[in-house]
A and B are shown apart, each in its own frame.
Chain A
């Protein structure tokens, strides 16, 4: 399953990845905070959509991502 940056705002469509809370091959549970992104005045924790394993991180810390962009992949368990 793809981890997609959710739409955080109608005005700001880009955010910077400020921290990954999990690494590749880590088991994750639904709603666990996977990563933190920041816009100009806000930070937002992106949760895991399901139980599973974080198999691939596609975008790294300090990278800018757009709403709707795939940032990681999880295999569902």
Chain B
């Protein structure tokens, strides 16, 4: 598996990179790859997000934050520097072909990584995403083509949370959000934190798709 750290980059350019990797992964030309990136501020609308989501269009326009439709699953979310976005391009064709299992795996590996940096995050069976008590800290929206994954999960680390108060994240009214910075009352080191998430992801991918039950991995 390879890790591709793109630093801070725009949403559209990274999407093009994802599609390129996706097609190469389908053709068997590249290994499974985890893209890690922080985006310039952007709001994205998933396939179930369309126009129905409540968001303060005027606020985002004034802030010069673009609103971009996306082919991922899910509804509305936003990205900004200080938020870690993980786009795994992983071939599930010859592995367990189950979308819910993959989403569980992503949520659990992010939750375990957050635990490692001291954030008491949880994956819950009731609600998608990763939560710290009643507040959401990670947001999921994926896509698959020929059982190869793209899009992924974003995790609030040091980013400003104000944009989330101007929308109903993931289309759920009244969803409160948090960040690692808010939970720990200090900023986290992005470089070191990315390393924690990447190592956890690589280990958990191996275990989750190696026949071990998900519940046994994280205990």
Contact = CB atoms under 8 A, between A and B. Distances in A.
Contacts of A42: 72-73, 99, 103, 141-144
Contacts of B71: 36, 43
Interface string B90-127: 00000000111101000000000000000000000000
A1 interface: no
Contacts of A41: 73-74, 103, 128, 140-142
Contacts, number: 60
A6 B101 CA distance: 15
Contacts of B146: 31, 45, 47
B145 interface: yes
A3 to B, nearest CB: 15
A44 B99 CA distance: 9
A16 B74 CA distance: 12
**Range of interface residues on B (Cβ < 8 Å):** 20 to 34
Interface residues of A, number: 19
Interface of A: 8-12, 16, 18, 31, 33, 36, 38-45, 47
| 7 closest cross-chain pairs (CB), A and B | A42-B73, A9-B100, A11-B100, A9-B99, A43-B143, A41-B73, A8-B99
Given A40-B74, A41-B73, A42-B142, 18 more contacts: A9-B99, A9-B100, A11-B100, A12-B100, A18-B47, A18-B48, A33-B145, A36-B47, A39-B99, A40-B48, A41-B128, A42-B73, A42-B144, A43-B142, A43-B144, A44-B143, A44-B144, A45-B146
